[in-house]
Structure 1
Amino acid sequence: MGSSASCEDCRVLFCWLCELSQKNWFLLLLAFLGALLLIWNCHTGVALLDQLWGKCDQPSAQLQSQSTGVDYGARDGPHTWRSADNNQSPINIDSDCVQLRCFDSPLIWVGYEELPLGIRLTNNGHTLVLHAAFQGETPCIDGGDLLGSFSFHEISFRWSWYNDCGSEHTLENAHFPLEMQCLHTDAIDNGHASSRGLLMVSYMFSLSTDNPFLDVIIQHLVAIQTAGQSVEIPPFPLDYLMPAFHTEFYSYHGSLTEPPCHRGAEWFIHPIPLAIGERQLHEIRKLRSRNGTRITRNARPVQERGDRLVYLNRYEST
């Protein structure tokens, strides 16, 4: 008896819903509620992303507090910058003068294959900067001879109008047309302008065929050709731009290459240059400085190595 009543109630409810679905006002109500839900989700996502961007921007202001006024011209260029007299970057790496260092723990790359919540490109007037926002843990590097874990912070690029003088670092006294520098900060000093707690991972680019992994940013540069512009682009895993390496890489103790050129940065130099096409390089060279002209050069000259050791790091499993 009870079962028959329940079936009858369900049948009545089903018929009522069918009748409602034929009415225009009911369909409009559903569409309105759906739109409200979509707007709420978008608002929540934007608010979360803005909050994460705020966390990304705060360390930048501390690490490179004077970077907006950086100039590479003949009048106010690197020769006028005030910095410490030693342990400065970039340097030339001479393979005949490096010291072999072996370790039994490989570099550990965590989270670089994960999809960020958002990625933002900025033309700050003297270089191109990439920030990535993560809802969970930020990608980090550990292992090797590092004393702790270093979290990803931002990527910046160095280039010039000429293919033989774009990079800041040189290998065997030879420049590359483009250098990509990936700044990391440690968990203790994260975002502070201190003399420790910084890891810079550097990748050189050689002129070759177009690099499809670079196109994820190259295709959006048209939106930020003017200094001060930013654009949020479809997110992609950071390992598109930063292939992991574990052995046969160079390292040395140096500094940041923009004022105030903080010392205490550990540099890792990727062992093999990556590819970049002439078209891609041309798109980067379209970015303009704050005076409206194209950025013709944004590389600090090579600094004296002094008595510092440059290591060739080799991972040897036991």
Structure 2
Amino acid sequence: MWTIAVVILGALYLYDTFANSNSLCLSYDNNLNNYGYGDCGGPSSWHQKFISAGGQRQSPINLIARGSICIPSETVDPLVFSCEFHVPPCEMKLYNTGHNVVIYATWGSGKRPIIFGGPLTDEYTFLNIKFRWGPNENEGTEHMINGCRYAMELQAAFAKGVAQQNFDIVEAARSGSLLILSYMFMVTPIDNPYVEPIVSALRYIKYPGGCVSIEPIIISLLLPDFSRDYYTYMGSMTFPPCTEGVKWIVKPEPLLISSKQVRKFRKLHGLGGPILMNTRPVQNVNNREIFYYD
């Protein structure tokens, strides 16, 4: 049974960027799944196995307002979220990859949500959504905002050129074709009704390789659109092989989630037991420029 789970997990990891309705084929090294977040094989040792993890432009980072270059929003084109963000998908699935929860969706029109404008010179097409959490409500995000961490972080991946076969997410990062849109979640006493359908379905994907279809959620309810008040910088994937060349857009104003909802994510299991955390510590900014669009 566990052998089957491992095989499924490996397949899901190879498929870690969402295939569209035409089923994109992804190229990956099976060894990339051999990492963790604990003391053994955790983030502090990733650079020993994955060369990119020791680079100078790694993610996540601590985003500090006073150290950022401020760009007045009226001086640039607004960041635009296409109408597909507001159209219900025809299918939505949750997967337990053994490290986190990933949401995949397809749209009946064949079109997918696109983001462009602002700091982007191209259109980026939606791939998937991942969640990051930690052992408590103060250590759940990968990015820090002015030295503060929140309960959870939602990371939505987008890319240029996702229509071709054999799409490679590592190569997309390396070539500067990968965008990750990030939102923070702050704990509140009240459940977030938009996240609740996902939380309620977690019990069906408790173990690695678990997959369940859920009632499709309009993506804009999880990824609210915005045109100002965000950070952007060049970084990396936050999980091995930590390839650099990723453009990040981080919305600092947190969304809300209840403590009860966050706890249910910690009940999910990886191959080594409950997934109590799946976050990489902040990395050195080094000489990078961090932009804030006010």
TM-score, normalised via structure 1 length: 0.77
Matched, 1:98 2:68: yes
> Across the two proteins, how many residue pairs are aligned to each other?
260
Q: Give a deviation string over 1:259-280, Cα, whole Å, max 9, x none.
A: 1111111110113100000111
Normalized per residue, which structure has more helix? 1
2:92 partner letter:
I
Report SS of the residue matched to 1:144.
coil
Report SS of the residue matched to 2:293.
strand
Matched, 1:256 2:237: yes
**Alignment partner for residue 230 of structure 1, among 211, 224, 229?**
211
> Residue 280 of structure 2 aligns with which residue?
300
Q: Give a deviation string over 1:250-303, Cα, whole Å, max 9, x none.
A: 111000101111111111011310000011111111111112x21111101110
Shift of 1:104: 2.8
d(CA) in 2 for partners of 1:151 and 1:121? 19
Report SS of the residue matched to 1:79.
helix
d(CA) in 1 for partners of 2:207 and 2:267? 9
Distance 1:188 1:153, change over 3 A: closer
**Alignment partner for residue 124 of structure 2, among 130, 150, 165?**
150
Where structure 1 has 5 or more consecutive residues not aligned to the other structure, the ranges are: 1-50
Report SS of the residue matched to 2:286.
coil
**Alignment partner for residue 133 of structure 2, among 138, 159, 165?**
159
Shift of 1:198: 0.6
d(CA) in 2 for partners of 1:133 and 1:72? 31
Give runs of ≥4 in structure 1 deviating > 6 Å: none
d(CA) in 2 for partners of 1:280 and 1:295? 15
> Residue 240 of structure 1 aligns with which residue?
221
> Residue 157 of structure 2 aligns with which residue?
183
User: Percent identical across equivalent pairs?
Assistant: 30
Matched, 1:86 2:66: no
Where structure 2 has 5 or more consecutive residues not aligned to the other structure, the ranges are: 1-18
Larger radius of gyration: 1
Matched, 1:118 2:91: yes
Shift of 1:182: 0.5
Matched, 1:215 2:196: yes
Shift of 1:66: 5.0
CA contact (8 A) 1:149 1:187 kept: no
CA contact (8 A) 2:266 2:277 kept: no
d(CA) in 2 for partners of 1:101 and 1:164? 30
1:115 partner letter:
P
1:113 partner letter:
H
Shift of 1:52: 4.6
> Residue 23 of structure 1 aligns with which residue?
none
Distance 1:297 1:106, change over 3 A: same
1:302 partner letter:
V
Q: Which structure would you say has the larger RCO, counting Cα contacts within 8 Å and 6 or more residues apart?
A: 2
Q: Give a deviation string over 1:112-141, Cα, whole Å, max 9, x none.
A: 011112111011111111111123211110
CA contact (8 A) 2:137 2:259 kept: no
d(CA) in 1 for partners of 2:237 and 2:67? 23
d(CA) in 2 for partners of 1:279 and 1:65? 35
